[in-house]
Amino acid sequence: MRITLIYPPPWKIHRPGATPYPPEAGAPRGCDPHMVASGDFLQAPYGLLSIAAQALASGHHVATLNLSNACWDDVVQAIRDHPADLFGLSCITANRRGVALLASLLRAHYPQAHITVGGPHVTAQPRLTLTHYKDIDTVVLGEGEVTFMELVDRLAGNADKVQLPGTAWREDGAVAVGRPRPAMRDLDGLISPLNYFDMRTIVTSRGCPGNCTFCSSRMLWGRTVRLHSASYVLDMLARATGHYGTRAIAIKDDTFTVQRRRVLQICKGIRTRQLELTWSCETRADHLDEEMLRAMRRAGCQRISLGVESGSPSILKNIRKGIDLDTVLTATRTAQKYGLQVRYYLMVGNRGETWETFLESLAFIATARPNQYVFSQLHLYPGTEEFSLFCRQGTFTPDIYYHHDGPHLTCFAGTRHDSDRIMAYLQKRAGVQVYRQFSSRACQRILARLPDLPWAHMDLAAAYIRERRFSLAEPHLDQASHQRFLFPGLILNARACIAAGGRAIETAEDLLMQAADCYPHAVIINNLKRLSEWQSAKGYAVTAPLELDPGQGFETSHPCRPPESPEPCPYRMDQMTG
């Protein structure tokens, strides 16, 4: 069977310089036309790639298209170039309008094709989806691999009806929802997307032990956390590093460290198999301990991200976070003891939020001193307790997302005065904020605990460079090189920083060019840009020293690798931030 799987854009994106599409098809009024085509939005959902892997392994002809930032003219051409019997679209809340527009386009070009949609938004609202989006035939609910493959079999057998557990469909002019499909017990039975796709992101479990009111995880995955085995995860990592040459992997589980024994097995396996990679993960502070954090660091983990949400105990209670701030503080300090970078995810606008509770969050940041933090505002998504609560209160009706054109329904559950004051503060601090960089003294202690870790030598060298103690940095760069540090480009970048500090500008430039050839780390690219701007400045040789960044924080910089990332298009990611 011919199958085309698509991650649609949020709406009709016009070409640069062209007339924008009207709001009913293009960007909503008052909205940056490309505000959602940046960051994580560009990355195809892991579930879509997993479904593609199952279909490919079964021998079907499958095209997988990431059209998340494609101009609509290119979307139309892509549809013409990829005819299919079955089209599968991935729908999150932010691209629901694009899903509807794309479904209409598909219906016009391929009137006999079957169009199915899956993803968190439609899983939460299957009836409303089929009621409002007339060109969609079926909705796949929740975990989609088994359901989708059964749908393929039904269609291949020319079944008159495809009434399946785990789907919704139209019947006799009404919408019908099948019985729930049991969750997969053995995730290891799935074909890994890495068997077919070059990826920087993996998911090794499904579900979360938490029950936060703003999150839809339980709606998608149920109450039980299910895990790929350690051996399955290690095989994925081996495929990424050995077959594709990937060196940086982001593990995007809701709570990667939920099972301690599995984490320790994975970390041991990375070292035993000598897998050359660095990685990050996201987790909860109440599922960490010192042995685990030390093992993660020795196995290449560079950063952990914690869902902290708020520094106010009352807010944490309101959202049922189930974690106290002392636990977060302990986890942060233990992770940093071994040189792990700690990033906090924080929110504003939850129920009970005031200027005073926001100040509690700022005070907690000052006490805990994470390496990074980022604030976001509460968004109300279908399938979450918060969305249901606001519906019950009569603030809006469940079908609001079919009348409201914005990518999200942003909320501040407090007074308008406090909202304005908080948002004015955060507008000056948008995005990820660097709060703490390890001092040389802290790095010395980390190195004493992990003397065989090349990253520890690199961290200490970077700290010395920031403190302009260049001669002390050199031996640690040499030692990192001797220990076969994974990213020689970062060693060259650090040496370029030292050369720039000594005004050896030509040497610095040459080292940066060599570093960029090794691996396109953002810090290297930014240093090249900084060097170019410095050289172009009038009177630079006399008035301003060249300051380069020795930073080596976790990142997955790489050229675009479809379908996980979209094809290059006229809108670069740095032009599409909102």
For residues 459-473, average pLDDT: 97
Domain finish residue from 138, 157, 184:
184
Q: Are 225 and 203 in contact (CB under 8 A)?
A: no
Same domain, 20 and 142: yes
Within 10 angstroms of residue 513's Cβ, the number of other Cβ atoms is 14
Distance CA 577, CA 33 (A): 10
Q: Are 69 and 42 in contact (CB under 8 A)?
A: yes
For residues 493-509, average pLDDT: 95
The pLDDT tens digits for 266-280 are 999 999 999 999 999
Same domain, 301 and 179: no
Same domain, 10 and 47: yes
Give pLDDT, residue 136: 97
Same domain, 500 and 520: yes
Q: If pLDDT is split at 50, 70 and 90, which confidence band does 286 have?
A: very high
Same domain, 150 and 220: no
Q: Into how many domains does the chain fold? A: 3
CATH number at residue 535: 1.25.40
Q: Judge whether 67 lies within some domain.
A: yes
Distance CA 108, CA 437 (A): 55
For residues 549-569, average pLDDT: 78
Give pLDDT, residue 36: 72
Distance CA 159, CA 93 (A): 31
Give pLDDT, residue 541: 58
Give pLDDT, residue 577: 27
Asked whether the predicted pLDDT for residue 545 surpasses 90, the reply is no
Asked whether the predicted pLDDT for residue 305 surpasses 70, the reply is yes
Q: Judge whether 569 lies within some domain.
A: no
Q: Judge whether 391 lies within some domain.
A: no
Give pLDDT, residue 543: 66
The pLDDT tens digits for 516-538 are 999 878 899 999 999 999 988 86
Give pLDDT, residue 556: 65
For residues 281-288, average pLDDT: 98
The 3-state secondary structure of 91-118 reads CCHHHHHHHHHHHHHHHHHCCCCEEEEE
Q: Judge whether 572 lies within some domain.
A: no
Same domain, 419 and 501: no
CATH number at residue 81: 3.40.50.2300
Q: What are 190's two structure tokens?
A: 């799935």
For residues 58-73, average pLDDT: 96
The pLDDT tens digits for 198-216 are 999 999 999 999 999 999 9
Domain finish residue from 152, 184, 216:
184
Asked whether the predicted pLDDT for residue 281 surpasses 80, the reply is yes
Same domain, 347 and 239: yes
Asked whether the predicted pLDDT for residue 137 surpasses 80, the reply is yes
Give pLDDT, residue 33: 66
Q: Judge whether 232 lies within some domain.
A: yes
Give pLDDT, residue 38: 67
* Of 42, 31, 32, 169, nearest in space to 95 by CA: 42
* Of 100, 183, 194, nearest in space to 144 by CA: 183
Q: Judge whether 557 lies within some domain.
A: no
- Please state whether beta strands 138-140 and 114-118 pair in parallel, antiparallel, or not at all (unpaired): parallel
Distance CA 458, CA 550 (A): 9
Same domain, 177 and 211: no
Give pLDDT, residue 37: 67
Same domain, 474 and 423: no
In this structure, of 61-65, 165-169, 403-407, the range with the lowest mean pLDDT score is: 403-407
Q: Judge whether 180 lies within some domain.
A: yes
Same domain, 89 and 177: yes
Q: Are 347 and 414 in contact (CB under 8 A)?
A: no
CATH number at residue 343: 3.20.20.70
Same domain, 304 and 158: no
Q: Judge whether 406 lies within some domain.
A: no
Percent pLDDT > 90 in the chain is 84
Give pLDDT, residue 223: 85
Give pLDDT, residue 204: 98
Give pLDDT, residue 576: 31
Distance CA 34, CA 162 (A): 37
Asked whether the predicted pLDDT for residue 574 surpasses 60, the reply is no
Same domain, 429 and 445: no
The pLDDT tens digits for 214-264 are 999 999 998 899 999 999 999 999 999 999 999 999 999 999 999 999 999
Distance CA 314, CA 434 (A): 26
Distance CA 68, CA 88 (A): 15
Residue type, 554: F
For residues 347-372, average pLDDT: 96
Domain that holds residue 259: 201-378+413-434
Asked whether the predicted pLDDT for residue 497 surpasses 80, the reply is yes
Asked whether the predicted pLDDT for residue 560 surpasses 90, the reply is no
Give pLDDT, residue 571: 39
The secondary structure of 380-432 as a DSSP string is: --TTSHHHHHHHHTTSS-TTGGGT--SSS-B---S-HHHHHHHHHHHHTT-S-
